[in-house]
């Protein structure tokens, strides 16, 4: 019967010895209080880093989606540019045949082919740029000559040498045009008369 009492005394002695051996100083409590502020700063730093990384990833995702849309929208741009001289040549052939009074059946066939080709280009987003009589726009027009005109005001397009085309909202080929400088001055009339 002494054994359980001895066991209890032994346990009590062990607990007392542990309590006596643990150091109790004031600096230990201060480091425990500083630890939450250090952890909070570390948490805030990691949270900021995470938010920046998430924003960068969203920007990357948005840019890659825009690039993918542009690739789909403008991926055939080079092929369409190569077809524009074919359209030009067909228009020239029709114009030449009409001035020379050529075979009307042949001219009609070329016109139908040109209309079909223009329809296909339109289906892919290619539109002709209207030039004659419009204001000169350096982003859509390439001025190859600049001269006076009594009929057309200054900075308006007089004549179109080569048609320009737009692919959706991008210039595929600028129109080659002649631009008016406005009515001729009196000194210019005298110089041209002599």
Could you read off the pLDDT of 140-179 as tens digits, one per residue? 998 998 888 888 888 889 889 999 999 988 899 999 999 9
Name the one residue in this structure whose structure tokens are 């008369």: 193
- 51: number of CA atoms within 13 Å, CB side? 6
Higher pLDDT, 6 or 175: 175
Picking from 95, 158, 87, 96, the residue whose alpha carbon sits closest to that of residue 118 is 87
In the chain, the percentage of residues whose pLDDT exceeds 90 is: 32
Contact between 163 and 142 under an 8 Å Cβ cutoff? The reply is no
pLDDT at 31: 58
* pTM listed for this prediction: 0.61
């Amino acid at each position: 019967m002494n054994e359980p009492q001895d066991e209890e005394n032994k346990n009590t002695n062990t607990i007392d010895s542990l309590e006596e051996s643990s150091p109790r100083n004031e600096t230990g409590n201060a480091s425990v209080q500083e630890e939450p502020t250090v952890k909070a700063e570390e948490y805030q730093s990691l949270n900021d880093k995470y938010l920046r990384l998430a924003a960068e990833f969203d920007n990357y995702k948005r840019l890659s989606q825009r690039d993918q849309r542009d690739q789909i929208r403008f991926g055939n741009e080079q092929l369409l540019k190569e077809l524009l001289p074919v359209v030009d040549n067909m228009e020239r052939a029709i114009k030449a045949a009409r001035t020379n009074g050529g075979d009307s059946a042949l001219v009609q066939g070329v016109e139908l082919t040109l209309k079909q080709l223009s329809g296909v280009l339109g289906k892919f987003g290619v539109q002709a740029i209207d030039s004659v009589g419009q204001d000169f726009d350096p982003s859509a027009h390439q001025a190859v000559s600049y001269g006076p005109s009594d009929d057309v005001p200054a900075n308006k397009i007089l004549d179109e040498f080569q048609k320009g085309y737009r692919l959706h909202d991008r210039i595929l080929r600028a129109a080659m045009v002649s631009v008016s400088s406005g009515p001729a001055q009196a000194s210019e009339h005298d110089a041209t008369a002599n």
